[in-house]
Amino acid sequence: MQAAPPMQLEPMELEHCTLDQIVDVLCEGRPINLPDGAGAFVLDNEDARAVLGFYASRKELWVQAKQVVGAEAQQLLEAIANPKAHVATGRSLTSGTVRPHWRIQELRAHRFAGLHRHCGAGGQAPEVFTLHLDRDVTCIWGFNGAGKSALQSAMMWCLTGKAHRSQHMPSLVHNPISVEVISSGSDDEKNFTLPAIVPLPSAEDLSLLADRPACDTWVELDLKDQDGNVATVRRELKRNDRGAVSEVSSGLEALALPQWAIEAGTLMPAIAANMRFDDKTSFAEAIAQLTGLRPLQDLGLRLPRMVRRLEKDETDSATDAKDGARIQFLNGKKSFLEAWRAESETLGPEPELLTPDKATAEQNCRKAIAAVRARLIQLQATGLVDIETILGSSASAETPERSQGLLNQLASAREHLSSAALAGLPSLRVLQQIKEINDADKEWLVAKLNELAQRAEAHVQRQQNKQQAARQQLYTMVAQWHQRQNPHQPIMDCPVCGTDLAEVPADALLDSDIAAALQIGLGAHSDATKSLAEWQQAAASELRESLPESLKFFIDYKNRSSILDLCKSAYVIEALKDNCFATDLRPLQSCAHKLWDAL
């Protein structure tokens, strides 16, 4: 994305800007005049300003040698994709700004190395050292060790926190150093720590101070600018109860100068004394390091590595991620549509889920998902109403746990009410057996029952006179015995005594001669040989053995329920006896009874 600054602004002068101010000006899209008439430089690209704004708050990433990692690249891309308004960190500056020129008017120092002893003869604190510098020129001279460098160090330390170090460039001096005191003629050794700018105590001083040297050094500078404004800068050391030393400064903000300017003006003489400039380049590098421009140069040298990473590694990673996301989308779409088709009767037509390369403003995956979500929310609301209508308030689907529990019960109930499961219900098995009876079997059964009814009626008639029935039963049994012993031979003689039956007197009970009675018994049905109880058992056995296969199921079936009763027993009672209908689905049992009774 390209965007020019919203309006033309007056260029800033490079030499008037601190490092923070340079960053602020560039992030805001304002121009900076380059030296030697090289024109103005401005970041007129919004992405470039977003990149500089990203690094402005992460100066630890400016170091040229710092490794470029993926997390930094991702954060940088997010900063470009979602640019934020830059928050200035440097003091606001205009092209017409005139910096103040400060002169030191007075220096005051307390317990400063090179200017004081650690303490007086009685252990008291030394007097405050005061130096007036209100003249145009002040000349300070003295022999080696007279305190000239210490005086300069006091000024440097007050303004920058750094001081002279022998044979070294100025450095921080508030960190304690270890001191070991060895007394002659004694084996006792004393150890303590003090910052280098605190005067070291002698053995006598330590005795006066009970081996607890003071650490309360401070320096104050009174300064005045060209307009007569006065400011006081103070820096002091403090030691807490645990012995840790800290440094506190105040008044620097009143100078209205960037820290690099203060350090350049204060430390340059001491730095220059320890520098060798063999050529123009080394001198320029020293100035860049001193003024703070080196970090900006380091950032400029490091950014091409980030560009290469973005163009190669991150591009490859993004391509792989895009391909992976596409595959994941297609797999998810497949699973989603399969689940949708399984419930298409309820959900309706399946949605069109387009990949980004096929999407349009009117048809895209986001709108399709929104429509699906709205449809599912509507179905959910309807389903909750249906659940309450059918199952009452005892069944709840408000929480994921309750919803999953209800789904598990419904799945079990659906399996229990499947066609295969219902076919195993006792009442439905009876109905299935009835359904399998064909017309031929029914006709045979009717004929057989009619035959048995006629035989039963005849047998009852025979059994009305017990004596005659018993006598006729006797003749029948004798005749049938004779027939078995002498097949196809007529009965001429008595089977018992051999007497000619023509000579035997007639049977007065039956009012018939013996031969005729035997002949009637020979032609009689075997029923005649049985009592009523025996005939009943024999008839039942005969019917059982002769039944077709489709009717044998009902031999031991004693239920006299109608077809409608069997249906009610199956669907209202037997089907709802399972444990899956014992909790949230319990209301189905009472509802089923009410529904059946209402039919």
pLDDT given for residue 185 in this prediction: 58
Same domain, 134 and 58: no
Determine the Cα–Cα distance for residues 206 and 212; give it in Å rounded to an integer: 7
Q: Do the domain assignments include residue 305? A: yes
CA distance linking residue 240 with residue 533, whole number of Å: 122
Q: For the segment 334-357, what is each residue's pLDDT rounded down to a tens digit?
A: 999 999 998 888 888 888 888 888
* CB contact at 8 A, 155 and 266: yes
Residue 43 CA to its chain's centroid (Å)? 41
Q: Considering only 37-51, 294-308, 314-328, 416-430, which range has the smallest mean pLDDT?
A: 416-430
Tokens of 511: 């009012």
pLDDT of residue 2: 44
pLDDT at 129: 96
Q: For Cα atoms 245, 247, 253, give the angle at the middle one, nearest 5 degrees.
A: 170
Share of the chain above pLDDT 70, in %: 81
Q: What is the pLDDT of residue 4?
A: 43
In this structure, what token pair is assigned to residue 283?
Answer: 């001198």
Mean per-residue pLDDT, 30-45? 85
Question: Positive or negative CA dihedral for 572, 577, 580, 581?
Answer: positive
Asked if the structure places residue 528 within a domain, the reply is no
- 45 part of a folded domain: yes
| 532 exposure class (CB count in 10 Å sphere: 0-12, 13-18, 19+) | middle
Between 480 and 558, the more confident residue is 480
State the average pLDDT over residues 35-57: 88
Quick check: 310 and 79 in contact, CB under 8 A?
no
Instruction: Spell out the residues 6+ positions from residue 9 whose beta carbon is closer than 8 angstroms to its own.
Output: 29, 30, 31
Residues 58 and 133 in one domain: no
CB atoms within 10 A of CB 504: 14
Residue 283 has pLDDT above 60, yes or no: no
Of 515, 523, 467, the C-alpha closest to 495 is 515
Residue matched to tokens 């009763």: 565
Contact 72, 307 (CB under 8 A): no
Average pLDDT, rounded, for the chain: 80
Summarize pLDDT for 148-205 with one digit per residue, the tens: 889 989 999 999 888 886 656 677 887 888 888 776 655 666 788 899 899 999 888 8
- The structure's pTM equals 0.39
* pLDDT for the residue numbered 88: 79
Lowest mean pLDDT among 195-199, 464-468, 477-481, 584-588: 464-468
Question: Which is more confident, 287 or 434?
Answer: 434
Q: Which residue has the tokens 């609301």?
A: 381
Give the CA distances from residue 122 to residues 111, 200, 208, 209, 217, in Å, rounded to whole numbers and listed in that order. Answer: 15, 16, 7, 9, 19
Residue 315 CB partners (closer than 8 Å, separation 6+): none
What is the mean pLDDT of the segment spanning 74-83? 91
**Do 85 and 189 fall into the same domain?**
no
Q: Same domain, yes or no, for 174 and 84?
A: no
Q: Are residues 125 and 250 in the same domain?
A: yes
Tell me what pLDDT residue 75 has.
92
Average pLDDT over residues 208-228: 92
Where b means 16+ CB within 10 Å and e means fewer, 132-152 reads ebeeeeeeeeeeeeebebbbb
Write out the residue range of the structural domain in which residue 58 sits: 12-95+295-313
pLDDT above 70 for 92: no
Structure tokens at 472: 């006729």
The phi and psi torsions of 462 (rounded to 5 degrees) equal -65, -35
Q: Are strands 40-41 and 32-33 parallel, antiparallel or unpaired?
A: antiparallel
Residues 146 and 259 in one domain: yes
- Give pLDDT, residue 280: 53
For residue 193, tell me if it sits in a domain: yes
Contact status, residue 199 vs residue 111, Cβ threshold 8 Å: yes
> 251 and 118 in one domain?
yes
Q: Residue 564 carries which side chain, given as an amino acid letter?
A: L
Dig out the tokens for 423 from the structure: 């076919």
Selected residue with higher pLDDT from 511 and 65: 65
Looking at residue 166, its pLDDT comes to: 62
Q: Report d(CA 475, CA 495) in Å as an integer.
A: 11
> 226 with 101: CB under 8 angstroms?
yes
- In which band, very low, low, confident or very high, does the pLDDT at 538 lie, cut at 50, 70 and 90? confident
Structure-block tokens of residue 438: 């064909």
Specify the pLDDT at position 268.
61
CB 179 within 8 A of CB 198: no
pLDDT at 140: 85
pLDDT surpassing 80 at residue 279:
no
Specify the 3-state DSSP secondary structure of 159. Answer: helix
Residue where a domain stops, chosen among 274, 289, 304: 289
Question: Are 301 and 164 contained in the same domain?
Answer: no
Residue 116 lies in a domain: yes
Q: pLDDT value at position 260?
A: 62
How many structural domains compose the chain? Answer: 2
Same domain, 209 and 116: yes
Tell me, what's the pLDDT at 473? 72
Q: How many CB atoms lie within 10 A of CB 335?
A: 10
Determine the Cα–Cα distance for residues 83 and 122; give it in Å rounded to an integer: 66
Residues 148 and 228 both lie in one domain: yes
In a domain, residue 147? The reply is: yes
Give yes or no: residues 309 and 285 share one domain.
no
The answer to whether residues 33 and 13 touch, using CB atoms and an 8 Å cutoff, is yes
* Whether the Cβ atoms of residue 203 and residue 181 lie closer than 8 Å to each other: yes
Q: Give residue-wise pLDDT tens across range 111-150.
A: 999 999 999 988 899 999 999 988 888 888 888 888 888 9
Q: Give pLDDT, residue 1.
A: 42
What is residue 239's DSSP assignment? E
pLDDT confidence of residue 276: 53
What's the whole-number mean pLDDT along residues 543-572? 76
- Per the domain annotation, does 81 fall within a domain? yes
- Asked whether residue 171 is domain-assigned, the answer is yes
* One domain for residues 309 and 233: no
